[in-house]
Structure 1
Amino acid sequence: MSTQPKSNIPFSQVFSLAIVREKKPLYRQIYNQIKQAILSQQLAPGIRLPASRDLAKRLSVSRNTVTTAYEQLWAEGFVEGQVGAGTYVAHIDFTPLKSTSIPQIKTSSHPFLSKRGEQIFNLAKKDYISKSIPFSPGIPDFGSFRKDVWARILSRQCRHNMQDFFAYDNPTGYKPLQTAICHYLRSCRGVKCDSEQIIITSGAQQGLDLIARFLIDAGNCVAIENPGYIGARNAFLAAQAKLIPIDVDKQGLQTKTLQQHKNIRLVYLTPSHQYPLGVTLSLERRIQILEWAQQQNAWIIEDDYDSEYRYSGQPIAAMQGIGKSERVIYLGTFSKVLFPGLRIGYLVVPKVLIPVFSLAKSITDHNTNTLLQAALNDFIEQGHFNNHLRRTRILYKKRQEYFLQIFSHKLKGFCTIEPSSTGMHLVAFCENDDKVFAQQALQYGLQLRTLSSYYLQKPYSGFVLGYAGYTPQQIHQGICIMEKIYHDIAK
Structure 2
Amino acid sequence: MIDDIRLDGPEPLQQQLYQQLAERIIDRRYPAGSRLPSSRQLALDMGISRNTVNAVYDQLKAEGFVQSQPGKGLFVHQRIHSDTLQRIGRPVLQPDGVALLPPIPKLQASKYDRAGDVSLPFQPGLPDLDAFPIRSWNRILHHQESRKRLRGYDSSQGYLPLRHAIAEYLRSARGVRCQEHQVIITNGAQQALSLVMDVLLKPGDRVFSENPGYRGARYALASRGNPVTSVPLKRQVLDVDALPALGPARLLFCTPTHQYPMGGILDISQRMALLRWAQQNQTWLIEDDYDSEFHFYNKPFAAMQGMFDHAPVLYVGSFSKTLLPALRVGYLVVPEPLVDHFVQAKQVNGGESPLLIQATIAEFMETGQFTRHVRRMRQLYRDKWLHFQARVAAELDGLVTPVAESAGMHLVLEGDFDDQELSLWLRTRGFGSTPLSSHFFGEGNRTGLVMGFASASEHEIETCVALLRERLGSSPVAR
TM-score by length of 2: 0.73
Cα distance in structure 1, aligned partners of 2:342 and 2:398 = 50
Tell me the secondary structure at the aligned position of residue 131 of structure 1: coil
Which runs of 5 or more structure 1 residues have no equivalent in the other structure?
A: 1-125
Aligned to 2:347: 362
Q: Does 1:272 align with 2:272?
A: no
Hey, what does 1:98 align to over in structure 2? none
Per the alignment, residue 128 of structure 2 pairs with 141
Q: Which of the numbers 425, 445, 450 marks the counterpart of 1:464?
A: 450
Aligned 8 A contact 2:187 2:328 in 1: yes
Q: Which of the numbers 414, 428, 432 marks the counterpart of 2:413?
A: 428
Question: Could you tell me which residue of structure 2 aligns to residue 256 of structure 1?
Answer: 241
Are the equivalent residues in 2 in contact too, given 1:307–1:422 (CA < 8 A)? yes
Query: Structure 1's 140 and 326: CA in aligned 2 closer, same or farther, altered over 3 A?
Result: same
Question: Is 1:485 paired with 2:471?
Answer: yes
Note the C-alpha offset of 1:129: 5.4
What SS is found at the alignment partner of 2:387?
A: helix
- Give distance in 1, aligned partners of 2:203 and 2:120: 36
Contact 2:237–2:262 (8 Å) recurs in 1 = no
- Cα distance in 2, alignment partners of residues 373 and 347 from structure 1: 14
Paired residues of 2:262 and 2:404 also in contact (CA < 8 A)? no
Q: CA RMSD in A?
A: 1.6
- How many angstroms does 1:263 deviate by? 2.7
Alignment-derived partner of residue 382 in structure 1:
367
Separation in 1 of the partners of 2:269 and 2:195? 30
- Structure 2 letter corresponding to 1:150: W
Aligned to 1:452: 437
For residues 137-196 of structure 1, what are the alpha-carbon distances to aligned partners after superposition, in whole Å with 9 as ceiling and x for unaligned? 11111121110000000101112x1x2123221111100111111111111111111110
CA distance in 2, matches of 1:211, 1:383: 31
Contact 2:211 2:232 in 1 (8 A): yes
Cα displacement (A) at 1:213: 2.0
How far off is 1:477 after superposition? 1.6
Q: Where does the alignment leave 5 or more consecutive residues of structure 2 unmatched?
A: 1-112
Matched to 1:131, the amino acid is V
How does 1:248-327 map onto structure 2 within 5 Å?
248-250=233-235, 252-327=237-312
Which residue of the partner structure matches residue 184 of structure 1? 169
| Residues 396 and 285 (structure 1), Cα distance of their counterparts in 2 relative to 1, 3 Å cut | same
Which structure would you say has the larger Rg? 1
Counterpart of 2:29 in structure 1 is: none
* Residues 438 and 130 of structure 1, relative CA distance in 2, 3 Å threshold: closer
Q: What does residue 183 of structure 2 align with? A: 198
Q: CA deviation at 1:250?
A: 2.2
Map Cα deviations across residues 356-413 of structure 1 (whole Å, 9 max, x no partner).
0101111122111111111100000111101101111111100011111112222111
Indicate the residue corresponding to 2:151 in structure 1.
166
Tell me, in whole angstroms, the C-alpha distance in 2 between the residues paired with 1:184 and 1:276. 25
For 2:164 and 2:179, the matched residues in 1 are separated by: 8
Distance 1:151 1:187 in 2: 27
Question: CA shift at 1:324, angstroms?
Answer: 4.5
Contact 1:440-1:485 at 8 Å conserved across structures: no
Specify the alignment match of 2:395 in structure 1: 410
Q: Distance in 2 between matches of 1:263 and 1:309?
A: 33
Q: Kindly provide the amino acid, as one letter, of the partner of residue 398 in structure 2.
A: G
Give the match for residue 216 of structure 1: 201
Q: 1:127 Cα deviation (Å)? A: 8.1
Measured after TM superposition, the shift of residue 447 of structure 1 is 3.5
Higher relative contact order (CA 8 A, sep 6+): 2
Percent of pairs with identical residues: 38
Quick one: structure 1 residues 442 and 468, their matched pair in 2 at CA, closer, same or farther if it must change by over 3 Å? closer
CA displacement at 1:446 relative to structure 2? 3.4
- Number of aligned pairs? 364
The residue type equivalent to 1:254 in the other structure is D
Q: Does 1:155 align with 2:142?
A: yes
8 Å Cα contact 1:204/1:346 also seen in 2: yes
Partner of 2:455, secondary structure, is: coil
TM-score (norm 1): 0.72
